Each structure stands twice: as structure tokens, then as C-alpha cells.
Chains A and B, each alone.
Chain A
Amino acid sequence: MRTGHYKETYGELIALSDSNVVWSWVAALGVFVVILPFLVGNYTLSLAISILIAIVGAIGLNLLTGTTGLISIGQSGFLAIGAYANALLATDYGWPVWASLPAAGIVAGAISLLVGIPSLRLKGLYLAITTLAFSFIVNYVILYAEPITHGPNGIFLNDTKVFGLDLSTDRGLYYFVLGVTVLVTLASLNILRSRIGRAWLAIRDHDIAARVMGIDLVRYKLLAFAVSSFFVGIAGGLMSLQIRFINIDVFGFLLSIEALAIIILGGFGSIAGTIMGAVFLTLLPEAIRISLGLFVDPGSSAYTKYVYEIRGIAYGIVIVVFLRFKPDGLIGLWRDVRKYFANWPLAY
């Protein structure tokens, strides 16, 4: 237990952390992340970019589902909206990336209000199913609104440069996505510590009691949808920058499941947990592939036939096992470990 720590200014009160140890570890992480492109090859770098994009998307979902308790399994729809908005603005209208990306987020946020309105009346599972229905409707609209969205043909993104970074190279894209991710993380950390974040927590715990305490449910629920979808829309835009060709096949229902799995794995309502969950789940298929490769000869037909199915099953097993044994997620696991070491050799 720490004693003698006094907060003497308002700045100290709202700082993210007052511990020098924490800040030095964060600095170490920052250094590692910045020099990563010089340490690893392009393939690993593209994995890292996928992880960062997953973090952005999952943080968005976490704000909605983890913090506010509004269950949403229609994230693939918002990812699609963000990706298409970014791609269309960049290719058809020639907007630069630093304008089209936030615009993609804003478009997704605005459309999410459409889904937010049913949420005012619906609870729990009914809301989840409505968001699911919504993601299917989004897919349909994108496919049939051909004059605007190119319909089934998909969109190719051209090579772009932003802030001197060439986004068609892995390194340039990595730094750009890293910057966006850091901004998004800081933004959500701050929102969660503000009155808005506290209102969301109250809504999650018991929305009627929150209303009784004077929290305007309409305003805060819609705000949750809007902010969450803004971030998810940006994640979608980043996806379009990474894979450079998008069409409706990319945004299947399974993406929503993966996003949910990340926040369940990481722990509801925790940003650090989301980051850990995103890293874990994005690297899981690679880890399985490598570990399978140790036991089974990669050249055999049995391997290639089953490796993907096995990866899918492993995914499901991870979800089930974590929900059963560690409902608090990875962040809960981390806290337990830390407490154990902090209190050792005492029990508590």
C-alpha cells in the first residue's frame, strides 16, 4: 500500500497515472512500438497493423458494450460503412486521407444514431438482435445502391501519402495507423474518466436507477452509439487503407463475432484489456499455425485441409474457456497476477 501520496494540483488529480514506474513502462512500450519496423520483416509488420486496427475497432465496441452495456453484434455494418465512406471519398471525390478518415468516422457515427433510436426502447438481447438485423440491412444497401457505392464491384484504393508518410508501404502505413491508434486510445481513456464515462457506467449497472439519479438516458445512450461508431468507422477506414480493395465480402457477420470476442477476452469496459485481447486474438491464428506446424508436416494434405477448421474451432474454444474460467478477461488475469506478486508472500 502506498502512503504519503498527496494530490496537490488539479492536474495531478486528473492525470492518467501518478506512478513513475507506470510511466516508465509506458515509455518503454512506446519506444518498442516506434522501433518495431526496424526489427521485424514486412509480414510481421502487416500483422502489427492488423492488431492496431483491431484495437481501434474493439475500443469502439468496448465503449458501447463494455462500458454502457448496450450489446451490439452488428459491428461489421459500421466497419463496412467506415471503409466504404473512406474509400469513396478518397477515390471518387479525391479527398486526402486526413480528411476522409475522420469523415468516415462521422458518417458511421451519424448512421449509428439510426440504430441508437431503437436502443432507447430495447434491452439486452433484443437490442443485440436489432443490431444484427441492421448489419444485414447495411450489407444489402451497399450492394444495391450501385451509383454511390459501386455495388458488387468493390473499390480499389490508390496509393496515398499523408503527412509525408507513404501509405502504400508497410512502414508508412504502420506509423500512420499507430498514430491514429494512440489518439483513439487517449481519447477513450479520457472519455471514460469524464462525467460521460461515469454516466455510461451507471447506465450499464442499472439504467432505471441512473435515470432516477438524473442521467438523461436518451442523450447518453445516443452519445454512446455515436462515439463508439465513430471509432469503429475509423477502424473501417483504416482497414480499407490496409487491404486497398474492399467489397462487401470483406465485412461478413464473423467480423462482429471477432470484435465481441476481443472485448470479452480482454475484459469489459477496460481499454488495457481491449488492447491485450486484440493482440491475443489476432496472433492466435498465427500461433496455432506455427504450433500445428511443429506437430504435423505442413506439406501433408491433412494439414492444409484441416488447419483452418482447427483455427476456427480454437477460436470458439478460447471464447468458451475464458468466459467460463476468467469472466473478467485478460485484464482480470493481469490484475490477479499483479496482486499476487504485490502481496507475496502474504495472501492478501
Chain B
Amino acid sequence: MEYFLFLVSSGLVMGATYGLVGMGFAIIYKATGIVNFAQGELLMLTAYIAFSIATSLSLSLIPLMIITIPIAMVIGIVLERVFIRPMLGEPLFSIVMVTIGLAVILRGVTIMIWGPDPHEFPTGLSSEVVHIGPVPFYQVQLYGLGTLAVLTAAAWAFFRFTRLGIAMRAVAANEGAAMLMGIEVSRIHMIAWAFAAAVAALAGILFASMFKLGPTIWFEGLRSFPAVILGGLDSVLGAALGGLIVGLIENLAQGYLGQGLREIAGFVVIVVILMLRPYGLFGAREIERV
């Protein structure tokens, strides 16, 4: 039983990071219809920026998050204006390829500025182990779970109750109609990127605190794909839930089946889910029969 609980707890922790990254994907897809392949690199860039801030100002986790969020938002806005906005009107796939190109650029720039060495991410949190029942957690892992919960609740409230959130949902449903209703669609796109960058910053800080900062953490973007596919590309809440589920599946697969299955468990999940429910668990279903 303890074995199972350990696996579940570590699955949830890992799933929280997947969920956070996935939410970033979902926000951009929801508002603009494109998959941002540079989300992982955004995560890496904002994590490194936070690292520089943390080492020069010696902040602890929460203040660091609070300071990094506006910086990340600015970065998101700049990227959207420079790379994505000029592509208005181009086919969807071209814009997606631009994000792939953007990913390559961000990766190179990050390594050029900060170098290739891995670093310990300074969070100011103690490395004491906290026990919830029989299950041990590091403090930062609990923060990760907490951040996911808070963000999920905030996202739900945002999309349900605020004008901006409803405007985003309108843009996601039908851009033309939204424009006719007086919603400034280009501004919504910009805001979506800003939010996605902020979420990526949070995910990056938490991930680096848990697993060391290094020039390969951009791969988390790709590894979070199963989460966002499972939840449905355009469902932010689905991405969070999908992240937790994928984290659980990975850890349970490794614990009970072994043999490095953890790595591809997620990708197998993608293939299976897409065969059965092509739009994910919570994605909007587009009816098409052929």
C-alpha cells in the first residue's frame, strides 16, 4: 500500500508540472488556434531569468514568482508582436512552424547567455522533508501542487466570470463573430501569449527547483504534450487534469511495469487517446463525418 501511495504522490507532483506547462499550451491554443511549440523554451528562458534574479537578489520562492510573472508577461507580449502578429492571415501550419523556428532561436539564445552548466536553483526553502501521513514530500513539491490548484481555480473563475475570460472564449469559438461583437481580437491574442508566458514562468521556476536548472529543460515542453492532448488542446482545465493523469500513469507504469516504460507511457497514451477521442477528454468537439 505504501508503495502505491509513494507512486501516486510522486505521480501527482510530476503531473502538476505537466499540468502547468499544459495550461500554457491550452491558453494559447484556445485563444489563437495554434500550438505553441516554443512553450518548453519559454519555460527554460523564464526559469533562467528567474535564476539570475534569485541569485542577485536572494529571494525566496513566492516573491520570486511574483517578480518573474510580469517579466514573463512582457516577454510573451514581445514574442507575440514580433513573431506571430505579422503572420496574421497565413495558414495555421505556417504559424506553427514559426513557433518551431522560435523555439530553436530561444534555445540557442538561452545557452549563449547563460552557458551550458547545470545549476542548483536557489529557492530559499529548506530541504526538510515534510510528511503527509506516510508519504514524504519536499516543500517545493507541495508548492508545485498548490500552484497548480490555485491556477486551475483561477483559470476556471477567469473564464467563467470575467469579461476578458468570456471574450477569450468568444475568440476561441469564432473569431469573426467575436470581432463583429466588438472584441479586439489582436489584443486578446497578445493577452493569451502573456498569460501563457506567465504560466510557463511558474512552471519553469517550480521545475528547476525540483529538478535542477539546466540547458535541457526545454524538453519538458514536449513531455507535457500528452497532458494537453489528453485534456483536449483547447481546454485549460482539461490540461491541468490531463497533466495529473499522465503523471500518475507514468509513475505507476514505471513502478509496476518497469523497464523504462515511464518515458513512452505518455506518448502511448497520446496515440491511444487520439484514436478513441480525437479531441481529448474535455476538448470542443468538431463534428465531421467522412
Contact = CB atoms under 8 A, between A and B. Distances in A.
Direct contact of A and B (CB under 8 A): yes
Contacts of B260: 140, 144
A312 B104 contact: yes
Interface stretch (B92-100, B125-133, B169-177): B92-100
A118 B274 contact: yes
B229 A126 contact: yes
A121 interface: yes
Interface in A275-327: 306, 309-310, 312-313, 315-320, 323-324, 327
A257 B267 contact: no
Interface residues of B, number: 41
B101 A320 contact: yes
A315 B104 contact: yes
A318 B98 CA distance: 10
B274 A126 contact: yes
B107 interface: yes
Interface in B84-113: 86-87, 90-94, 96-98, 100-105, 107-109, 111-112
B225 A323 contact: no
Interface string B264-282: 1001101100110010000
A217 B290 contact: yes
Interface in B29-80: 35
Interface string A115-134: 00010011111101110111
A323 B97 contact: yes
B264 A140 contact: yes
A101 interface: no
Given A130-B271, A137-B268, A323 B104 contact: no
A257 B100 CA distance: 8
A136 B278 contact: no
A323 B90 CA distance: 9
A225 B91 CA distance: 22
A320 B290 CA distance: 35
Main SS at interface, chain B: helix
A306 B93 CA distance: 31
Interface of A: 71, 118, 121-126, 128-130, 132-134, 136-137, 140, 144, 207-208, 211, 217, 253, 257, 260-261, 264, 306, 309-310, 312-313, 315-320, 323-324, 327
Contacts of A123: 278
Contacts of B151: none
Nearest to A134: B271
Nearest to B267: A133
A137 B87 contact: no
Contacts of A140: 260, 263-264
B94 A323 contact: yes
A316 B104 CA distance: 5
A208 B108 CA distance: 41
8 contacts: A118-B275, A126-B229, A129-B274, A133-B226, A134-B267, A207-B290, A316-B101, A327-B91
A73 B162 CA distance: 38
Contacts of B259: 144
Contacts of B83: 320
Contacts of A129: 35, 225, 229, 270, 274
Interface string B202-236: 00000000000000000000100110010001000
B274 A130 contact: yes
Contacts of B107: 312
B98 A320 contact: yes
A124 B92 contact: yes
The interface residues of chain A, by DSSP majority, are classed as helix
Contacts of A264: 94, 97
B288 interface: yes
B102 A316 contact: yes
Most buried by B among A207, A208, A264: A264
A126 B222 CA distance: 14
Contacts of A315: 101, 104
A312 B102 CA distance: 11
A137 B267 contact: yes
Given A126-B229, A207-B290, A316-B103, A324 B270 contact: no
A130 B270 contact: yes
A316 B102 CA distance: 6
Q: Which of B100, B103, B111, B259 has the most CB of A within 10 A?
A: B100
B93 A124 contact: yes
Nearest to B225: A129
A323 B84 CA distance: 11
Nearest to B41: A316
Given A144-B260, A309-B111, 9 more contacts: A118-B275, A129-B35, A136-B267, A144-B259, A211-B290, A257-B100, A316-B103, A320-B101, A323-B94
Given A121-B275, A319-B98, A327-B90, A313 B105 contact: yes
A317 B104 CA distance: 9
Contacts of A253: 222
B98 A125 contact: no
Contacts of B91: 327
Contacts of A320: 83, 98, 101-102, 105
B108 A312 contact: yes
A144 B258 CA distance: 12
B100 A260 contact: yes
Contacts of A260: 97, 100
Nearest to B95: A323
